[in-house]
Amino acid sequence: FIGFSKYLHKNLKLYDSMIISSTRHYMGIKTANICTKNNIPYIFIPFGSLQSSGSFIYKLYDYIFTDKMVRNASYSIGQTPHERDLLKCHGAGSVDVINLPIDIEKLEKYPQNHGFFRKKYNISTGEILIGIISRFHETKGYDYLLELFHALSMKSENIKFVIAGRDDGYEDKIVNKMGELNLSDRIIFINSGVFNQEKVDLLVDMDIFILLPNIYEETVTASLEAAFFNTCLLLNQKAAAPMLEEYNAGLYLKNDLKQDTENIMKIINNREYKRMQEQSRKWVSEEYALNHVIEKHINVFNMILQPHRKQ
């Protein structure tokens, strides 16, 4: 820690401004303190890390360190209106929402092998495929998600489900819950993770991507990638993606089992999910493309550096 502190004191003075993105980490706190002491403007972007557990230790830490770091930032950026409001609660002055970017040019390079995943797992073109790609962790909301899958399976024999990811301490509980709900034959369970082309093969054959975490994660990259490949999104407010419903690219669920089941069956039966698929790529391309988001960040840098250039 001492060596790192000396390195920061020596080298931060070489920079006109900084971005800090770690909320409760020594490096972020120390960088903010040195920037403030040396009149170096910095932008704070928490990227979903600002939400706390609400425990006494978190509250004490935030009172001593986090609030000061947020308060002294020249500008703060949240991914969602919720994160913007959270920043304000921690003392942010100038704060705005700028969407999480995705690299569309990179995604465009992948071949779109329509039908490959369905053929591999014997899913007909007429069956509705609803899935999630996420690590197997207790915060990802798998308990409620499986209850929802069960409710949907009771409504229609024409729906298949896929859960793809890698274990992060919760795989056994997911598998046990699938057994309890007699879902093992209805769910394609992939526990080796899906990456790169394999993930694209799944997304292009998926009708609906669903993500319902039980903590605030703000916007999740996996949902944006799914939308780029023309997948309808079902999210909750803890994984919010601005302008989703305005573009009619998906909808927000309420974590109410009866209501959520009815709403999902409604968009399936009236084929609204097909119209949402048609809008999803347009939504991501216009609101989340990397070059658009970078331009907004550059505008923020120019704004905070303007007073220093006049000195």
DSSP symbols for 202-219: HHHH-SEEEE--SS---S
Whether the pLDDT of residue 20 is over 60: the answer is yes
Average pLDDT over residues 267-293: 97
Query: Could you tell me where the beta strands, DSSP code E, fall in 146-263?
Result: 159-164, 187-190, 208-211, 232-235, 250-252
| pLDDT at residue number 310 | 52
CA distance 99 to 286: 11
Contacts of 157 (CB under 8 A, 6+ apart): none
Answer for the pair 228, 104: CB distance below 8 angstroms, yes or no.
Answer: yes
CA distance 110 to 106: 8
CATH code for the domain of 216: 3.40.50.2000
Count structural domains, the chain: 2
Whether the pLDDT of residue 259 is over 90: the answer is yes
User: Do 64 and 139 share a domain, yes or no?
Assistant: no
User: Do 275 and 158 share a domain, yes or no?
Assistant: yes
Residue 196 Rama label (left phi>0; alpha psi -120 to 50; beta) = left
Contacts of 122 (CB under 8 A, 6+ apart): none
CA distance 129 to 147: 17
| pLDDT at residue number 210 | 98
Whether the pLDDT of residue 309 is over 60: the answer is no
Report the 10 Å Cβ neighbour count for 226.
28
User: Do 221 and 270 share a domain, yes or no?
Assistant: yes
With CA atoms as reference, report the closest residue to 45 among 301, 249, 243, 233.
301
Whether the pLDDT of residue 288 is over 70: the answer is yes
User: Do 23 and 37 share a domain, yes or no?
Assistant: yes
- Pairs from 26-35 (Cβ < 8 Å, separation ≥ 24): 26/1, 28/69, 29/65, 29/66, 29/69, 30/4, 30/5, 32/68, 32/69, 32/72, 32/73, 33/69, 34/8, 34/9, 35/72
CA distance 222 to 242: 15
User: Do 247 and 192 share a domain, yes or no?
Assistant: yes
| pLDDT at residue number 274 | 97
User: Do 132 and 276 share a domain, yes or no?
Assistant: yes
With CA atoms as reference, report the closest residue to 235 among 257, 208, 262.
208
- In sequence order, the β-bridge partners of residue 200 are none
| pLDDT at residue number 140 | 97
User: Do 61 and 85 share a domain, yes or no?
Assistant: yes
What are the structure tokens assigned to 9, written together? 């004191």
| pLDDT at residue number 308 | 63
- Band of the pLDDT at 2, cuts 50, 70, 90? low
| pLDDT at residue number 9 | 86
Average pLDDT over residues 134-160: 97
The per-residue pLDDT for range 211-257, each reduced to its tens digit, is 999 999 999 999 999 999 999 999 999 999 999 999 999 999 999 99
HSE, CB side, 13 Å, CA atoms: give it for residue 101.
15
User: Do 158 and 79 share a domain, yes or no?
Assistant: no
User: Do 54 and 171 share a domain, yes or no?
Assistant: no
User: Do 114 and 90 share a domain, yes or no?
Assistant: no
Answer for the pair 168, 136: CB distance below 8 angstroms, yes or no.
Answer: yes
User: Do 130 and 246 share a domain, yes or no?
Assistant: yes
User: Do 208 and 264 share a domain, yes or no?
Assistant: yes
The per-residue pLDDT for range 168-196, each reduced to its tens digit, is 999 999 999 999 999 999 999 999 989 99
Average pLDDT over residues 75-101: 96
Domain that holds residue 230: 104-286
